[in-house]
Amino acid sequence: MPETTSIILLDTIHQIKSLAQELEKAIRRQEDLLNIRGITMSETLFDAMATVHDDIDKIEIRLVEEATALSQLRTMAGTSDQINSSLDLDVVLAEAMERVIMLTGAERGYIILTDPNPFELQWEVRIAQDQTQRSAGTPPVFEGSRTILREVLETGKTLLTDNAYNDPVLGSNDTIASMTLRSVLCVPLKLKDKVIGALYVDNRLRAGVFTPQSEILLTAFANQASIAIGNARLYTRVQSSIDTITELKELMDNIFASIGSGVITTNKADEVVICNAVAARILNIPADQIIGQRLPDVLPQDNASLTEPLHAVLTSDQNQVIDVEWDSPTQGHMSLNIRLSPLKDANHVTQGVAMVLNDLTQQRENEAMLRLMRRYLPPEMVDNIHTIAALALGGERRESTCIFVDVGPLSTFADDLRPQQIMEMLNLYLSVATDCLHQAGGVIDKYMGNEIMALFNSQLNPLDDHAARALEAALNIRDSFMKLYGQLGLNPDPHYYRIGIHSGVATLGNVGSEIRRDFTAIGDTINLSKRLEENASAGQIIISDDTRQHITRRPGPLRLDDIQLVERDPVQVKGRQQRTRIYEVFRTS
């Protein structure tokens, strides 16, 4: 019935009711006049008038009820549209609950959801008439009848009582009695025949507030609310899944971007599915042009060495590791280490290949350069190049042992040797001495013609028994030269070499400039060891008294019983006022 028609009918009934009342008054006046004349009016007329009044009242009540019901249904229709037009239930359900209270005359109401246990309740919305206890999003305290609520949740049936306090069944419950509930209406929220919650309204002050029409009204609203809740939950799950997938993708992208190796994955058809930036740089092709292409089409043309390993990964689930040399037209020669692994799904079925590419070009070039450098620099210096580079210009004072070795004057070589032959002979002597120094742990500081300067206990070769190590190297040089003399057919008497050793504090570090540096040692310890070598006679190993004392304290690999120390006359060396005690060293056997 249109709202305007309802209003017109109510106005018409009011007019009819007024006319009936005026008519009854007129008949009553006529009755008084007839009574004066002794005429009695029939009571049947008045009974008919009473019936007319009753009928008019009934029609009026019916019209009011229908108008109210129509208004409620329209309100609920608008509420349903609002609920289904939004997925934000926190606000929508709260506003809908306000309308339910307004339409039903309830004192307060709750929309209650269960998740997942029917008796682990989540109070989503709580509205009271005075609006002082409204709460949406934060769980309020449920103050209604848990007995009624549990009954509705368990049975899935609506429960309506117009006076719960006096109800013979419900009134015996302590909760209802303590709350003196008068009117209660609780409707289940169902989604696909599953109870997901309840719509609960009550009034503690008045009985008979809720009518069958109220029950119909709330049931209709509950049906709409259930659908909206289900849609919102589905949307939340989908949104959560999308957020999770997005986060995982971003995480994977960040991981692939941060990996120092190239990463490529393919499907069974050899089509590239994933390619990170490093792989694109190695292949010198933009990543977006690689994805979707067949792997053989994006690899360099000379990739035949990959065919068999790729086939083995796909057919035999075997991991493969290969080194490949490629000649790129844009990047030149490249050295790559490639690891191939089967890419499996959740059922452990191979769906493609995961390829990890490590560009070793620079590393291989560095290794080749280091091998070349070892021919010209001491191995310890090359191996500890980072340690040397970390040292600033300047030095560090530390106790060390310095040894100078003169492998033999050039004048001792045969007169008929050409310069090139003399150089080869000199290098032979230097190589023998160098090997002995390295075996003892020494670091060659420099070659000076036919002389070698070596250090023990520098930053590159820290040694507690550095003096003993230096003496061991000197004795081994003597033994090795004796063998060399025999191989060359030379008379070892006299010997050609001279060795001087001294232990003390020296300054060790980098000297030079910012663009050219040299690692060396300076100080009195270095000068004195050089002077001892210069004062030694051919075939002599001379050590200072400081070196002797250090060997006594820390003999290291030496056995003191195997060496003989013969003190010689102290020497006066240039740059020192005091004379230096020295010893010549021999093996005892």
Q: What is the pLDDT of residues 246-265, one digit of tens each?
A: 777 777 766 666 667 888 88
pLDDT > 90: percent of the chain: 17
pLDDT at 118 over 50: no
Q: How confident is the model at residue 44 (pLDDT cuts 50, 70, 90)?
A: confident
pLDDT at 79 over 70: no
Higher confidence at residue 353 or residue 70? 353
Listed range (277-281, 484-488, 507-511) with the worst mean pLDDT: 507-511
pLDDT at residue 456 in the model = 94
pLDDT at residue 237 in the model = 79
DSSP at 441: T
Q: Which residues contact 54 (CB under 8 A, 6 or more apart)?
A: none
Burial of 514 (0-12, 13-18, 19+ CB in 10 A): exposed
pLDDT at residue 423 in the model = 86
Are 440 and 472 contacting, i.e. CB atoms less than 8 angstroms apart? yes
In angstroms, the CA 342 to CA 344 distance is 6
The most confident of the ranges 24-33, 40-49, 219-228 is 219-228
Whether the model pTM is above 0.85: no
Residue 530 φ then ψ, to 5°:
-65, -45
Q: Give per-residue pLDDT as tens, 465-481.
A: 999 999 999 999 999 99
pLDDT at 545 over 90: yes
pLDDT at residue 378 in the model = 54
Mean pLDDT across the stretch 381-401? 67
pLDDT at residue 389 in the model = 57
In angstroms, the CA 140 to CA 161 distance is 24
Q: Which residues contact 170 (CB under 8 A, 6 or more apart)?
A: 145, 147, 148, 161, 164, 176
Q: Give per-residue pLDDT as tens, 169-202.
A: 454 554 554 555 678 899 998 888 888 888 888 8
Mean pLDDT across the stretch 153-167? 76
Burial of 378 (0-12, 13-18, 19+ CB in 10 A): buried
pLDDT at 242 over 50: yes
Q: How confident is the model at residue 134 (pLDDT cuts 50, 70, 90)?
A: very low
Q: Is the dihedral of CA 337, 338, 341, 345 positive or negative?
A: positive
pLDDT at residue 248 in the model = 75
In angstroms, the CA 556 to CA 313 distance is 55
Q: Give per-residue pLDDT as tens, 404-454.
A: 999 987 766 666 678 788 788 888 999 999 999 999 989 888 889 889 999
Output the six-digit token pair for 8: 């017109």
Residue 580 φ then ψ, to 5°:
-110, 125
In angstroms, the CA 507 to CA 523 distance is 6
pLDDT at residue 132 in the model = 42
pLDDT at 341 over 60: yes
pLDDT at residue 121 in the model = 54
Output the six-digit token pair for 535: 């004062």
Find, among 525, 526, 509, the residue nearest to 517 by Cα. Answer: 509
In angstroms, the CA 86 to CA 285 distance is 47
Mean pLDDT across the stretch 574-585? 87
Q: Which residues contact 587 (CB under 8 A, 6 or more apart)?
A: 475, 562, 563, 564
- DSSP characters for 495-529? ---EEEEEEEEEEEEEEE-SS-EEEEEESHHHHHH
pLDDT at residue 321 in the model = 85
Provide the phi-psi class of 441: left if phi over 0, else alpha when psi is between -120 and 50, else beta.
left
pLDDT at residue 50 in the model = 76
Q: Which value, in Å, is the radius of gyration of the alpha carbons in the chain? A: 54
Task: Sort strands 498-512 and 541-544 into parallel, antiparallel or unpaired.
Answer: parallel
The most confident of the ranges 9-13, 269-273, 299-303 is 269-273
| Alpha helices in 329-400, H assignment, sequence order | 361-373, 379-383, 385-390
pLDDT at residue 402 in the model = 95
In angstroms, the CA 382 to CA 375 distance is 10
